[in-house]
Amino acid sequence: MMPATVFRPAEPPEMPVEEEHHAFVELEKVTHTYGRGDRKIQALIETDLRIEQGDFVALVGPSGCGKSTILKLVTGLITASSGYVYVAGREVGAEPVRVGMAFQNPTMLPWLSLRDNVMLPLKIVPPFRREYRAKRRGEFRDRVEALLAQVGLGGFSDKYPWQLSGGMLQRASLCRALIHEPQLLMLDEPFGALDQFTREELWAVMQDLWMTRKPTVLLVTHDLKEAAYLASRICVMRARPGRIVEESEVAFPRPRTIAMSYEPNFVALTQRLRELIMSAQADKEETS
Ligand SMILES: Nc1ncnc2c1ncn2[C@@H]1O[C@H](COP(=O)(O)OP(=O)(O)OP(=O)(O)O)[C@@H](O)[C@H]1O
Ligand SMILES: [Mg+2]
């Protein structure tokens, strides 16, 4: 029998796809309101933010201006009330993106050794989870040891969290945030609970980790010196309603040092940021 002829509609001609360029992280006219009715709190009004891949951006601003809200929107923990949040070119949540996080409180699991705490993301996050079960446990162990050594914790991996100081735990927490090679690293005041000397030591550790791995970083901090030391761009926010009011490029060469933070350009930058935030706070008092 003759095969029936099948008529198919002509394939549409291939159109050149004009890909819209999205930065690695992009907020477009994002607003966020918590609660409803009388309890409504507008945490953010139309906010735009672009972070290119491998960039290090710091968010500074008065308490309650919406810094943590931006971190939560970018990780998809909360959804924007309006506007768009893109991560890796897709709307947030559309595609799994590996994220690492560290907060003010390092929250290690007390029943696990430092090694096992840092290893945790490799046991949970795909594709490492499968590989961990399969065979690469030993290899992963080496990777954890190497990272702990890089932050000055070589030889401590058998210790338990209660045997370590706050600064050591925070170092370990940075390792845990980075062990699964996240594309995006979210830091919410990770050095806030440390004394000044330990904090400055950890800036150097963080800078080294960033320079060797180049994740895209969004750092929330109240410490302007910390922002100027670590970030390549600083966004200043205002409260009520929260929004980004200024962005500054930070062009100091890397690796940066504490000595640099006493140089006139550096001091001028932190001074200007301070004035912006003070005036933001004054606005807030006027409107409250
Ligand atoms: N889950 C929530 N429910 C209701 N309101 C919230 C919630 N989370 C935050 N807010 C409010 O939204 C605003 C922004 O909060 P956010 O935590 O983003 O501020 P922040 O800039 O991180 O402050 P801080 O520097 O004190 O950490 C604040 O007024 C806060 O009270
Ligand atoms: Mg916060």
Closest ligand 1 atom to Cα of 72: 18
Range among 97-106, 177-186, 263-272 rated most confident: 263-272
**Confidence label for 89 from pLDDT (cuts 50, 70 and 90):** confident
Task: Note the pLDDT of residue 21.
Answer: 66
Domain coverage including residue 251: 23-97+184-288
CA distance 251 to 263: 13
Give 126 Cα–ligand 1 centroid separation in angstroms: 31
Task: Note the pLDDT of residue 137.
Answer: 78
* Among the bound ligands, the one closest to the CA of 241: 1
**Last-in-domain residue among 160, 182, 204:** 182
Task: Note the pLDDT of residue 78.
Answer: 94
CA distance 237 to 65: 6
Q: Do 77 and 170 belong together in one domain?
A: no
Residue nearest to atom 28 of ligand 1 (CA): 64
Closest ligand 1 atom to Cα of 237: 21
Give 42 Cα–ligand 2 centroid separation in angstroms: 15
Say yes or no to pLDDT of 56 above 60.
Answer: yes
Task: Note the pLDDT of residue 211.
Answer: 96
Say yes or no to pLDDT of 15 above 60.
Answer: no
Residue nearest to atom 1 of ligand 1 (CA): 34
Q: Do 131 and 80 belong together in one domain?
A: no
> To the nearest whole number, what is the mean pLDDT of the chain?
89
Task: Note the pLDDT of residue 96.
Answer: 81
Q: Do 154 and 254 belong together in one domain?
A: no
**Confidence label for 18 from pLDDT (cuts 50, 70 and 90):** very low
Does the C-beta of 43 come closer than 6 Å to ligand 1?
A: yes
DSSP code of residue 238: E
Site to probe by mutation for ligand 1, drawn from 38, 44, 65 as the one with most ligand atoms within 8 Å of Cβ, is 65
Does the C-beta of 41 come closer than 6 Å to ligand 1?
A: yes
Provide the CATH number for the domain around residue 221: 3.40.50.300
Task: Note the pLDDT of residue 93.
Answer: 81
Instruction: Note the pLDDT tens digit of each residue in 19-32.
Output: 566 899 999 999 99
Q: Is residue 8 part of a domain?
A: no
Does the C-beta of 248 come closer than 6 Å to ligand 1?
A: no
* Among the bound ligands, the one closest to the CA of 242: 1
Task: Note the pLDDT of residue 3.
Answer: 53
SS3 250: coil
Q: Which protein residues have their CB within 5 A of the ion that is ligand 2?
A: 68
**163 near 111, Cβ under 8 Å?**
no
CA distance 42 to 235: 19
Determine which of 47-51, 85-89, 221-225 has the lowest per-residue pLDDT on average.
Answer: 85-89
Q: Do 195 and 152 belong together in one domain?
A: no
Q: Do 191 and 273 belong together in one domain?
A: yes
Q: Do 147 and 208 belong together in one domain?
A: no
Task: Note the pLDDT of residue 153.
Answer: 94
**Confidence label for 17 from pLDDT (cuts 50, 70 and 90):** very low
Does the C-beta of 45 come closer than 6 Å to ligand 1?
A: no
Instruction: Note the pLDDT tens digit of each residue in 233-274.
Output: 999 999 888 999 999 999 999 999 999 999 999 999 999 999
Task: Note the pLDDT of residue 22.
Answer: 82
Q: Do 188 and 85 belong together in one domain?
A: yes
Determine which of 30-34, 68-72, 126-130 has the lowest per-residue pLDDT on average.
Answer: 126-130
Give 108 Cα–ligand 2 centroid separation in angstroms: 20
Range among 17-26, 71-80, 86-95 rated most confident: 71-80
Say yes or no to pLDDT of 219 above 50.
Answer: yes
Give 72 Cα–ligand 2 centroid separation in angstroms: 10
- State the DSSP H helix or E strand holding residue 235, giving kind and residue range, or none if neither: strand 233-238
* Among the bound ligands, the one closest to the CA of 237: 1
Give 214 Cα–ligand 1 centroid separation in angstroms: 29
CA distance 225 to 221: 10
Does the C-beta of 287 come closer than 6 Å to ligand 1?
A: no
Q: Is residue 249 part of a domain?
A: yes
DSSP code of residue 262: G
CA distance 71 to 77: 9
Q: How many structural domains does the chain have?
A: 2
